[in-house]
């Protein structure tokens, strides 16, 4: 990333993904589906979205973080 605008755009994209994943989890909670394959998939998606956003925000140069999907 070379500019503040690029950083903001990428951060916004990652936050939108995190928000969508969190919303999906909240819908499952509302429908009392807090176990099973749908729940596990939603939890993984939300976790991965958070990890990606956090890694990006905390990167020193604002570049895309390395693949962090295996981070627990």
Residue 7 and residue 57: Cα distance in Å, rounded? Answer: 9
pTM for this entry:
0.77
Reported as a single tens digit per residue, the pLDDT across 20-29 is 999 999 999 9
Question: Is 65 within 8 Å of 56 (Cβ atoms)?
Answer: yes
Looking at residue 69, what is its pLDDT? 53
Reported as a single tens digit per residue, the pLDDT across 31-70 is 999 999 999 999 999 999 999 999 999 986 656 555 555 5
DSSP string, 18-61: HHHHHHHHHHHHHTT--SSHHHHHHHHHHHHHHHHHHHHHT-SS
């Amino acid at each position: 990333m070379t500019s503040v605008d690029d950083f903001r755009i990428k951060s916004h994209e990652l936050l939108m993904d995190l928000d969508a994943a969190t919303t999906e989890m909240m819908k499952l909670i509302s429908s009392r589906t807090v176990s099973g394959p749908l729940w596990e998939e939603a939890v993984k998606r939300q976790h991965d979205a958070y990890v990606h956003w956090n890694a990006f925000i905390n990167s020193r140069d604002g570049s895309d973080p390395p693949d962090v999907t295996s981070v627990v």
